Amino acid sequence: MTEKIKSLIQLDSIEPEALKQIYDVASLDIVKKLAIMPDVHTGYDLCIGGVALVEEHISPSFVGYDIGCGMCFVDTGIKAEEIFKTKKDREEIAKEIYKEIPVGKNIRKKPLDYEKFHSASGDSSLEKKVNDKLFHSLGTLGSGNHFIEIGKNLEGNVCVTIHSGSRNIGHTIASYYMKKGRFLPLDSFWGKAYLEDMNFALDYALENRLTMMKIVLKVLGFTEKEIDRIIRKTLINENHNHAVLTDEGVLHRKGATPAEEGQKGIIPANMRDGVYITVGLGNTEFLSSASHGAGRVLSRRKAKELIDIKEFKKVMEMADIVAKVDNSTLDEAPFAYKDINQVIKAQEGVVIKIVDQVRPLINIKG
Ligand SMILES: Nc1nc2c(ncn2[C@@H]2O[C@H](COP(=O)(O)O)[C@@H](O)[C@H]2O)c(=O)[nH]1
Ligand SMILES: [Mn+2]
């Protein structure tokens, strides 16, 4: 069983609950291979930071509730000093983004255009539930650690990163299919239906992030033509929770950045340390995947209990980042996450190489 597991970090350094999930999953006959990323922590069924190659079956719980959660990034090519002369300029931009993009549990007052959901299950009550939220949820951020971050890369250019998923749409689809079984045969009615409906949620997640990206670029003062050019030339938009059909089996990523050879990716650290831009090395030993972040060291409850708000305010002020820094975001403080340097060290040169780094100037959270 252990020969199926390939881990980018020492197994004995992993929290016991996540380790139990790793052994449970690896013990299943239909699981051919399991790769563990350095940001691994306990998840639902398959651990977060787990990539499982499964024979002829697809698993709704291995993909998880936030189908298509992922990252979106652009480099505007414009120097930060040209857009932000003062801190006040950054505060104004943050205010404007909060006005234009619903965050937390909020959704849009006016619906946006999107293709209606027709479920492959044929279940009209599932369709209604999804369609009721579909058009008002597009271009909305969500809560927790979903974020919009405007930063400055190594060249000094303004870059934008967005972390969000398929909102309530993916959650509704995931909850529905999880009741149909832990593993659905690919050639069964429920297997085929889940695959199709999951793909709908994956596309929706990509569009959700892209919609927000266009709004942020508009708020930053770019014209439609400039926005099209920035997106055409520099966009990275990838899902880190998904299942993909491959010749070897069904590849499930639960919190892992796709890292096929030459594929660009985004690894976020935390609201102080920003993001890394990566290129995949296509290392099949680790199922062509990398970490999707730093990963938590403190649960939300423990973070609220243990982190000193004064310390949180101090480090964010020292880094000169415009952000919501109060009790509501205490569980998102940099100390709630693993040290990103260690996480990068565990995978650089093995599954990815780093090509850029972006330091935050503005951070938006729900
Ligand atoms: N640059 C930022 N990175 C952040 C922030 N908040 C969290 N994070 C990182 O993102 C991943 C996402 O994890 P997921 O399981 O929810 O997809 C997390 O592990 C952190 O490393 C932020 O505000 N800015
Ligand atoms: Mn995510």
Task: Give the CATH number for residue 259.
Answer: 3.90.1860.10
What average pLDDT score do residues 167-195 get? 98
Range of 86's domain? 2-365
Gap from CA of 25 to ligand 1 centroid (Å): 25
Complex ipTM value: 0.99
What average pLDDT score do residues 157-178 get? 98
What average pLDDT score do residues 43-68 get? 97
Ligand 1 atom, smallest distance to 241 CA: 17
Residue 1 has pLDDT above 80, yes or no: no
pLDDT tens across 131-150, in order?
999 999 999 999 999 999 99
pLDDT band at 272 (very low <50, low <70, confident <90, very high): very high
Sole residue written with tokens 């565990």:
346
The answer to whether 241 touches 68, Cβ cutoff 8 Å, is: yes
Per-residue model confidence (pLDDT) at position 357: 98
Count of beta carbons in the 10 Å neighbourhood of residue 135: 15
Residue 330 has pLDDT above 90, yes or no: yes
Distance CA(124)–CA(34), nearest Å, equals 36
CB-ligand 1 contact for 64 (6 Å cutoff): no
For residue 94, which of 321, 256, 338 has the smallest C-alpha distance? 321
User: Which of 270, 321, 340, 357 to probe ligand 1 with, by most ligand atoms within 8 A of CB?
Assistant: 270
User: Which of 46, 69, 145, 254 to probe ligand 1 with, by most ligand atoms within 8 A of CB?
Assistant: 145
Nearest ligand atom owner, CA of 267? 1
Per-residue model confidence (pLDDT) at position 2: 81
**What does residue 275 show for φ and ψ, rounded to 5 degrees?**
-135, 155
List of E strands, 42-192? 48-54, 57-58, 70-79, 147-153, 157-164, 184-185
Gap from CA of 254 to ligand 1 centroid (Å): 14
Ligand 1 atom, smallest distance to 66 CA: 17
Residues written for the chain: 366
Q: Name the average pLDDT for the chain.
A: 97
What average pLDDT score do residues 301-325 get? 97
What average pLDDT score do residues 200-207 get? 98
CB-ligand 1 contact for 159 (6 Å cutoff): no
pLDDT tens across 88-118, in order?
999 999 999 999 999 999 999 999 999 999 9
- How many domains is the chain partitioned into structurally? 1
For residue 333, which of 356, 350, 308 has the smallest C-alpha distance? 308
- Please name the helix (run of DSSP H) or strand (run of DSSP E) that holds residue 344, with its range, or none: helix 340-345
Terminal C-alpha separation, the chain? 42
List of E strands, 230-315? 236-239, 241-245, 250-254, 256-258, 264-270, 274-280, 289-291
- Please name the helix (run of DSSP H) or strand (run of DSSP E) that holds residue 198, with its range, or none: helix 189-219
Strands 48-54 and 31-41: antiparallel
CB-ligand 1 contact for 28 (6 Å cutoff): no
Distance CA(296)–CA(274), nearest Å, equals 15
Residue 185 has pLDDT above 80, yes or no: yes
Per-residue model confidence (pLDDT) at position 201: 98
CB-ligand 1 contact for 43 (6 Å cutoff): no
**What does residue 21 show for φ and ψ, rounded to 5 degrees?**
-60, -40
**DSSP class of 260:** -
